[in-house]
Amino acid sequence: MSKKRSEEEWQAILTTEQFRILRQMGTELPNTGEYNKFKGKDLSNNMKRVEITCAACDGHLGHVFQVIKFFADERHCVNSVSIKFSPEEEEKKD
* Active-site residue, from 64, 77, 78, 83: 77
The architecture (CATH level 2) of 7-31+46-82 comes to Beta Complex (2.170)
Asked about 57 being catalytic, the answer comes back as: no
The confidence score (pLDDT) of residue 94 equals 46
Whether 75 and 85 have beta carbons less than 8 Å apart is answered as no
The confidence score (pLDDT) of residue 16 equals 94
Measured distance CA(94)–CA(92) in Å, rounded: 6
Tens digits of per-residue pLDDT, 2-56?
Answer: 568 999 999 999 999 999 988 998 988 887 887 766 445 555 556 677 888 888 8
Whether 22 and 82 have beta carbons less than 8 Å apart is answered as yes
Residue ranges of domains in the chain: 7-31+46-82
Tens digits of per-residue pLDDT, 58-88?
Answer: 889 988 887 766 666 787 889 998 888 888 7
